[in-house]
Amino acid sequence: MPEKKYSARYPTDLPAWQKLKKHYREDMHGKPIGGLFSRDKNRTDRFSAQGADIHLDYSKNLLSANTVKHLLALAKQAKVTEAVDGMFAGEKINSTENRSVLHVALRAKISDQVALNVNGVMDIWKVLTAMESFADRIHGGELRGSTGKKLTNIVNIGIGGSDLGLVMATRALRHYWLAGMRFYEVSNVDGTQFADLQEQLDPEATLFVVCSKTFTTLETMTNAQAAREWMSEKLGEAAIASHFVAASTNHEAMDKFGVHPEFRFGFWEWVGGRYSIWSAVGLALILMIGMENFRSMLDGARRMDQHFRQSTHAENIPVLMALMGVWYNNFAGASSHAILPYDNRLERFPAFLQQMQMESNGKSVRLDGKPVKTETGMVIWGEAGSNAQHSFYQLLHQGTRTVPVDFILPAQSSGATQKQQDLAIANCLAQSEALMDGFSLDEAGGDPHRVHRGSRPSSTLLMPELSPSTLGQLVALYEHKVFVEGVIWGVNSFDQWGVELGKRLANGLIPAASKQATYTGSNRSTDALLRKVSQLKDS
């Protein structure tokens, strides 16, 4: 049983954990990060690593060689390598749902032999080919809308893992959109996104991609139904078959909705929602950037998988980043982590990582069902580049809290002038320097309001450019980082039971919210709010 194998011991009982506690208290607490540079001329080299095309500079962190030594010992004692091998072998490491975790198989080649014996794995390449041929037929104009117009408006309808990764990647790869194609997304349940979209969408040129692993999610089904009604009203019921395609594991529900059997793209239970961009969930992205670019993204992720599996922990970017996450979270008392990309095309990357990290590791119970004895997933937040500087960096520089940050920096512009990207580079590097070096009372001319205490940790992920390949690498990097943290804490990073209760309660509240029934629950605040809502609706 995976839970016995991978969470046999509490991390707090491991010898390395005890050493790290002592080491933080006695050697590192309050130590200026800048001072660590003066004592070690090779610090930047020592605390840098390369994985595929991504360079990690983690020298501006509160770490010494000893810290890293103890953290690596922790990874070993927590059996990280064994867990990673278990994932790639297709073991049912998602034990609370009795599932394998095989997003890594989605970007592997058959020759990599990733869990080929697990049900569905051998179908991966068939689905990729089916998506490629579908996209070619749309792009070539062989498949058209019901009135004969080319389908150039792609609308993804999904939520959570069936929206965030896809939308993030589609925006990130804006530079690679095929000529004439337009992308839109609809996710929230309140209906305003689709209401606004209707004003600008030409139904004759619109293809809806309904994306839902379960095909039962309230938000997605409500929005899909609204889109269906709109299309039927505009072009007639017969148009539905030409204007709706779907990515799902639920064929029965797709039947019911009326998705043409030829236009359904399947995936498998072992693909978690927030890890699903590599599967049929990527269909809208393929329609926007073409299959060649999508394959390049898969290949980028595969290169990061190889780095993750083959490098020693000391050189392994996802492992190092996970260990730093544990270090700040469990030893240095940080409670949040900021993600700061310096390319506006990555503006949805922090939101995507919020789901990936917080849905994966926001857990208080271990794999074996026992409560954790230490903090787990941190709050993840962030925003793109200089927008963030003009918003919340004040707190990063002068606030009372220490927030470790990841700067993500492409060297080349992804579609604007290099001159402007150079400004982004200068800003990014200036920020990490200011965070670390600070600005002393002397430098501030004795004015305490202008002092930056400095010694605030950051890592910089540098890449040549934002491309399908480097984006694939970046996403895979964080997927593995999250997994390693989960292994150390002994939690299951692949279930999400914490979102179920709210969904169930919402379903129960729909009749009361729409005044078809009175509230029968016992929560007095909810009761009062529903009555207030009712008054406001009538006012």
Catalytic residues: 359, 390, 503
Closest distance of CB 272 from ligand F6P, Å: 7
* Cα→Cα distances 250→94, 210, 264, 277, 472, Å: 20, 12, 10, 17, 27
Of 250 and 311, which CB lies nearer to ligand F6P in the complex structure? 250
Of 57 and 219, which CB lies nearer to ligand F6P in the complex structure? 219
Task: Tokens 């260990």: give the residue.
Answer: 323
Write the DSSP assignment of 421-465 as a string of letters: HHHHHHHHHHHHHHHHH-B-TTTTTT-GGG-B-----EEEEEES-
Of 16 and 281, which CB lies nearer to ligand F6P in the complex structure? 281
Closest distance of CB 141 from ligand F6P, Å: 30
For the beta carbon of residue 345, count every other beta carbon within 10 angstroms.
22
C-alpha–C-alpha distance, residues 233 and 166, integer Å: 28
Of 198 and 214, which CB lies nearer to ligand F6P in the complex structure? 214
Of 265 and 342, which CB lies nearer to ligand F6P in the complex structure? 265
Closest distance of CB 280 from ligand F6P, Å: 11
CA angle 451, 454, 457 (to 5 degrees): 155
Residues in touch with ligand F6P (CB under 6 A): 159-162, 212-214, 217, 220, 273-274, 359, 496, 499
Q: Judge whether 459 and 321 are in contact, CB under 8 Å.
A: yes
For residue 69, the surrounding DSSP H or E stretch is: helix 65-77
Closest distance of CB 281 from ligand F6P, Å: 8
- For the chain, the first-to-last Cα distance in angstroms comes to 59
Closest distance of CB 163 from ligand F6P, Å: 8
Supply the DSSP symbol for 28. Answer: I
C-alpha–C-alpha distance, residues 153 and 525, integer Å: 44
Q: Which residue is nearest to ligand F6P (CB)?
A: 273
Of 328 and 494, which CB lies nearer to ligand F6P in the complex structure? 494
Dihedral of the alpha carbons of 229, 235, 237, 239, in degrees to the nearest 10: -110
C-alpha–C-alpha distance, residues 91 and 367, integer Å: 14
Closest distance of CB 123 from ligand F6P, Å: 19
Q: Which of 305, 461, 451, 496 is nearest to 382 (CA)?
A: 461
Contacts (Cβ under 8 Å, ≥6 apart) of 500: none
Closest distance of CB 362 from ligand F6P, Å: 12
Of 61 and 212, which CB lies nearer to ligand F6P in the complex structure? 212
For the beta carbon of residue 50, count every other beta carbon within 10 angstroms.
13
